[in-house]
Structure 1
Amino acid sequence: MTFSDALLEEGEHVWEAQYEHPFVVELAEGTLDEAPFQHWLKQDYRYLLDYARLFALAGTKARDEETMTHLLGVAHTVLDHEMDLHRSFAADYGIEREELESVEKAPTCVAYTNFLVRTAYEGSVAEIAAALFPCMQGYQDVGEHMADLATEEHRYTPFIEMYTGEEFREATRWCREFVDRCGEAYPGEHDAMREAFLTSAKLEYRFWEMAYTQEGWGL
């Protein structure tokens, strides 16, 4: 069993919880109210900025040129491509770029991005690999689950197609191989990698909950 498989086996209960979450189920069915989806769009936009930082900082800790080049390239792709996709999605719902950039992070978004950035600064490259893995693999798996649940095209079909497309699958494959390389190269880091992986996975679940409940600060 590869180390990435072992991590996914340990986090299976978190994946199952994501599959059953009403945000995921209702989005797949096309019945999700627009307000939770808009909340997800705004919060995920803010999340992606720190996700790009995670890859950029991981690139500075990589010990070989190929890995460094790829990690820094992903950071650029997130900022140059994926952010554009979010802006395009948001525009379809009447959300302008200025609103995306000025929205306040919800508590769960703060917790998740703070965890990722702290891991990037304080952790090893192996811990960073494990921390970023649940977002990549999780969105592909949840996207595939949504595709299985969907019975017809609807307004959220482009969302499902984004995370089940070949481009995203290729990015996920590389991430998984990165985790396996780190697991093999740094056996002494396995416990730290598991902790980072499970923390990110649980925060992925909470992100769906944050969007569905339109979580705010209540102030």
Structure 2
Amino acid sequence: MSFSDRLLERGEPIWDAQKNHPFVRELAAGTLDEEAFLHWVRQDYRYLLDYARVFSLAGAKANDEETMTHLLDVAHAVVDDELDLHREFAAEYGIDRDELERTRKAPTCVAYTNFLVRTAHEGSMAEISAAVYPCGQGYLDVARHMADAADGDHRYTPFIEKYSSDEFADAVAWMRDWVDRCGERYPGEREAMREAFLTSARLEHRFWEMAYAQETWDV
């Protein structure tokens, strides 16, 4: 069994919780409250800006040219492609780019992005690979689950199509291979990788809850 598969095996209860979360179930059915979806759009926009920074920092730490180039390409793709999708979602509801960029991160978004950025600054390449992996693999698996559960097209179909696409699956396959290479090359860091993976996976689950509850600061 590959190291990435062993991580997914450890994270299976978290994956099940994500797939069964009401945000995911209602988005698949097309019945999710519009405000909950827009809360996700705004918060995920802010999240992705830091996600791109993490890949940029990882690229700067890479020791080989191929890995460095790919990580920097991922950072560019997040900013150039994935954020465009969020801008399109937002525009359909009259939300412009300035409003997205002015959005204050909710507590869960702060916790998640702070964890990722700190790992990128202080952690090893192996830890970084494990920390970013749950976002990619989680969205692919959850979107495929939603695609299976969806009954026809609805207003959230573009979300499902984006994250269940072959293009996104190819991007996740590279991340999975990166995790496997790090796990094989740095066996002494596997426990740190497991902790980073599980922390991000738990925060992925909390992100759905944050959006569904439309979490904000109490004060």
Task: Mark yes or no: TM-score above 0.5.
Answer: yes
User: What is the CA deviation profile of residues 15-54 of structure 1, one whole-angstrom value per residue up to 9, with x for unaligned ones?
Assistant: 0000100000000000001000000000000000000001
Structure 2 Cα separation of the partners of residues 195 and 108 of structure 1: 18
Gaps of 5+ in 2: none
- For residue 75 of structure 1, report the CA deviation from its aligned partner: 0.4
Provide the residue aligned with 1:95 in structure 2: 95
Provide the residue aligned with 2:211 in structure 1: 211
- For residue 218 of structure 1, report the CA deviation from its aligned partner: 1.6
Provide the residue aligned with 1:24 in structure 2: 24
Q: Does 1:106 align with 2:106?
A: yes
Stretch of structure 1 that moved more, 73-82 or 138-147? 73-82
- For residue 2 of structure 1, report the CA deviation from its aligned partner: 0.2
User: What is the CA deviation profile of residues 144-165 of structure 1, one whole-angstrom value per residue up to 9, with x for unaligned ones?
Assistant: 0000110111000000000011
Provide the residue aligned with 1:38 in structure 2: 38
Provide the residue aligned with 1:79 in structure 2: 79
- Aligned pairs, number: 219
Structure 2 Cα separation of the partners of residues 158 and 88 of structure 1: 10
Q: Does 1:61 align with 2:61?
A: yes
Structure 2 Cα separation of the partners of residues 81 and 205 of structure 1: 24
* Residue identity matched to 2:21: H
- For residue 112 of structure 1, report the CA deviation from its aligned partner: 0.1
Structure 2 Cα separation of the partners of residues 170 and 143 of structure 1: 14
For the aligned residues, what is the CA RMSD? 0.5
Structure 2 Cα separation of the partners of residues 186 and 127 of structure 1: 10
Runs of 4+ in structure 1 off by over 3 angstroms are none
Structure 1 Cα separation of the partners of residues 79 and 211 of structure 2: 22
Gaps of 5+ in 1: none
SS of the equivalent of 1:158 reads: helix
SS of the equivalent of 2:37 reads: helix
Structure 1 Cα separation of the partners of residues 181 and 190 of structure 2: 12
- For residue 132 of structure 1, report the CA deviation from its aligned partner: 0.3
Provide the residue aligned with 1:14 in structure 2: 14
- For residue 182 of structure 1, report the CA deviation from its aligned partner: 0.3
Q: State, as a whole percentage, how many aligned pairs show the same letter.
A: 71
Provide the residue aligned with 1:141 in structure 2: 141
* Residue identity matched to 2:119: T
* Residue identity matched to 2:75: A
* Residue identity matched to 1:134: P
TM (norm. structure 1) is: 0.99
- For residue 79 of structure 1, report the CA deviation from its aligned partner: 1.0
- For residue 83 of structure 1, report the CA deviation from its aligned partner: 1.1
- For residue 120 of structure 1, report the CA deviation from its aligned partner: 0.1
Structure 2 Cα separation of the partners of residues 159 and 80 of structure 1: 17
Provide the residue aligned with 1:121 in structure 2: 121
